[in-house]
Structure formats: structure tokens, C-alpha cells
Amino acid sequence: MTLDPKLLEILACPEDKGPLWYFADEECLYNPRLLRRYPVREGIPVLLMDEAESVGKAEHDRLMEKAQRDHIRPTFEVAEGGALTTPPSSRRPSPSGGQSSGMES
């Protein structure tokens, strides 16, 4: 079961409030800054620090290589000046036919 793309746009790490990488096939959300993996159980992200699993360097490297290979992007990006944006890969056409920019105003 994959997570709703709209939900992914707003998910952040509960500890550092930064973006997460979603690995649907492994049912987890990953924070590469803190080397923490959060489970997704029955389609529900479990973003509790007590439920997070710390990963080692080898697992971190594996996840980052997989993210690059599979074009997995962070749940959101922080633009210059601190504005939040969604990654270009998650932008969907707006009903008017133009590109939706996600959380940008």
C-alpha cells in the first residue's frame, strides 16, 4: 500500500522537522540527516521517535543509492529563504493544465 502523494507533501521528521524519503517497497520513511528510519504500517506512517530505527553507515549508503537509482525525492524541499516547495517530480498538472507547484504560493 503506498501513501497518498498529498500526505507525502506534508510529512516531516518529528525530531528535526526536515524532509523524509519514502521507500514504498520497504514500507518506511527515512531521514538521512539523523540516520533514522520510521515504519509505515498498514499504510499509516508511524512518526514517533520511540518507533524510529537508527541505521548504520552501510544501510544509509544503500538507501541513498536506492533513492538515487529509483528517483526517490524528499517529501519536501526548503528553498532559499526558508520557503517550502514540493520536489519537481511530485508536481502534478493543475486542473487548468499548467504545472502545479505544490506548496508554493
pLDDT of residue 82: 62
pLDDT of residue 37: 98
pTM, entire model: 0.76
Give the distance from CA 62 to its chain's centroid. Answer: 16
Amino acid identity, position 48: L
Residues 15, 36, 10, 82: is their CA dihedral positive or negative? positive
**CATH code of the domain covering residue 48:** 2.20.25.10
Domain presence at residue 95: no
pLDDT of residue 53: 98
Sequence-ordered list of residues with C-beta below 8 angstroms from that of 95, at least 6 positions apart, any chain: none
pLDDT of residue 83: 60
Structural domain count, the chain: 1
pLDDT of residue 105: 39
Write out the DSSP string of 35-52. Answer: TEEEEEETTEE---GGG-
Could you list the mean pLDDT of each consecutive 10-residue stretch along the chain, which spans 105 residues? 90 96 97 98 96 98 98 86 55 40 42
Cell, residue 16: 528535526
